[in-house]
Chains A and B, each alone.
Chain A
Amino acid sequence: MRKYSFLWMLFPALLLYTVFIAYPFFSSLGLSFFDWPGIGPKKFIGLANYKNILSGFMASEFYRALWHNIVFFIWSLILSVVPGLFFAFLLAADIKGTKWLKIIFFFPNTLAIVVVGFLWGLLLNPQWGLVNQLFRVLGLGFLAKPWLGDTKTALPTIIFVTAWRGLGFYILVYLAAIIGVDREMTEAARIDGATELQIAGRIILPHLYPIIATTAMLKFIWTFNIFDIVYAMEGTQGGPAGSTDVLGTLFYRIAFGGLGSSQVGMGLGATVVTLIFLVVFPVSIFYVFIVERRVERGE
């Protein structure tokens, strides 16, 4: 047995991970078949929670939140990848002296999401917020709107603020990938008479597809977990009139209360989480598969 004396060093991590991460995932699935307010006896109700959410009294709220998550994903993906690539190429184009720019671009990522939410909440205040005052000064008074108070603009505004915080991450990830492209290939193309734009678009860009796909997968997983930014800017109700309600805030109201909840329950909450998980799971599995394959190849 002495041969395996090293194994104990694996156990603390394995134990913590199993008890507090892996087990809760399965336990959550189990809870979704019960009616349970959080204390007292659990009542098994089969698929009733799923029925209530997918086609019952919770359906309209659920699909609205799900739709907002989907919209959020699509727009924030576009707002991350397109400017992310654009600025990564610009940084790569003239790399000298860009150390400070990289730090500036990345800085918003280090801010807590609630801090970003509160800051922009103040900046976007309809009367005194700087954004509207700026529009008025620039003679664009028609753009001075209650951005967070209008059901049409609230969600796009939150998506924009999220993109503002996250962009630097994408720029730097793509930049690292661009720099990683084999120089010989770009030099050869240059000798063959390719313009700089052709080198960027036809030679380097295709090499970035895998990393773009990876960031898109991460974005997908993250987007279906958003909560903080909506909470900080629009509250647990996802106001105004539920126009920014996402699965995260819907779940929070159901499982942990909050005024105006139509129904409070751990079983129902676990069902929402399980449904979120079902949406995220295929992408997650694919992501782990890719990560694992890279590890296997021994990078």
Chain B
Amino acid sequence: MFRLNRFQKVIVWAFLLLLAFVNLYPIGIMILSSFKSTREIFLKPFNLPAVWRWQNYVSAWQRADFATYFKNSILVTAVSIASILLVSSMAAYVIARFDFKFKRSIYLYMLAGLALPTRLAIIPIFLIMRNLHLLDKLSGLVIVYTAGGIAFSVFLLVNFFKKLPHDIEDSAQIDGAGPFRIYWQIDLPLLKPALVTVAMFNFIDVWNDFFFPLILLSSKVKKTIPLGLQAFFGEYTIEWDILFAALNISVLPVLILFLILSKQFIAGMTEGALK
């Protein structure tokens, strides 16, 4: 984009690498510390571990009951994202493809959700969940996440639906296919990249959420990873070796997914601001 001489290039790269270092250093320390003993973390914080203590991970995994937290987080995230994708893409399809009374008002009404932080509605959400006997249930969380993800997902998907070519649809309509079949069999497969983007955006939000589990869940066996981590940090304040191991365990799934799908992740999370 810019024409730089060699000296300028060196300066540019020096700054870029400096920021990369600032980003990676704390992460690197987190990883290295998780293999040390607490004593080693305290006394030799900058060194490589003298012995790589994998047992830190075993103790963290067992003591924090991570297996349960993982199961809960995976379940909640998977079902929430599937629901968000289904209901949002159906709604987006209707809004993008059909004309009907009040369509504009309905769309604007849903767009308003883009700017309403769901958290601000937490008291009534809590009360509704209590009335529905969905407090301390994972399904309650799924409902909140699905409802909260709709505005942004519909907004993104409407734009994608509008860009799809109409002609295949028209010929399908002549063949007698109903709206749902056209949506399901023709449009959705074409929308796969957009659905991945929407899924990624919601994944980070749901997987990392701490606030709603904190308010809506209470029993230990229902906790998701961020909430479980919080309980763990409250309990083992001085055993830094397993604290670091626990942090790593909680980060690992996202890290792997991010490295595989970084392009989709970045698209998913920046798209909203750019649109």
| Interface of A toward B, CB cutoff 8 Å | 4-7, 9-10, 12-14, 16-17, 19-25, 27-28, 31, 83, 86-87, 90-95, 98, 101-115, 118-120, 122-123, 127-128, 130, 133-134, 137, 164, 167-169, 172-173, 176-179, 186, 190, 196, 199-200, 211, 214-215, 218, 221-222, 224-225, 227-228, 231-232, 248, 255-256, 266, 269-270, 273, 276-277, 280, 283-285, 287-288, 291-292, 294-295, 299
Chain B neighbourhood of A232, CB < 8 A:
210, 230
- B273 and A214 form a contact (CB under 8 A): yes
CA distance A221 to B183 in the complex (A): 35
CA distance A107 to B148 in the complex (A): 24
Looking at chain A's contact residues, the main secondary structure is: helix
- B46 and A137 form a contact (CB under 8 A): yes
- A24 and B128 form a contact (CB under 8 A): yes
- Our pick among A16, A177, A178 for the contact of B1 (Cβ within 8 Å) is A178
Q: Which 7 A/B pairs are nearest by Cβ-Cβ distance? A: A284-B115, A24-B121, A24-B124, A112-B208, A20-B147, A13-B91, A6-B179
Chain A neighbourhood of B12, CB < 8 A:
90, 93-94
CA distance A183 to B92 in the complex (A): 34
Looking at chain B's contact residues, the main secondary structure is: helix
Chain A neighbourhood of B97, CB < 8 A:
6
Known: A112-B226, A113-B210, A228-B210. A87 touches B2 (CB 8 A): no
- A6 and B120 form a contact (CB under 8 A): no
Nearest residue (CB) in A for B91 is A13
The answer to whether the Cβ of B69 comes within 8 Å of any Cβ in the partner chain is no
Known: A101-B16, A113-B210. A276 touches B120 (CB 8 A): yes
Within the complex, the shortest CB–CB distance from B38 to chain A, in Å, comes to 9
- A221 and B115 form a contact (CB under 8 A): yes
- Our pick among B41, B93, B251 for the contact of A111 (Cβ within 8 Å) is B251
- B29 and A225 form a contact (CB under 8 A): no
Interface residues of B in 165-181 (CB under 8 A from A): 178-180
- Our pick among A14, A109, A227, A284 for the contact of B116 (Cβ within 8 Å) is A284
Chain B neighbourhood of A277, CB < 8 A:
120
The answer to whether the Cβ of B197 comes within 8 Å of any Cβ in the partner chain is no
CA distance A122 to B244 in the complex (A): 9
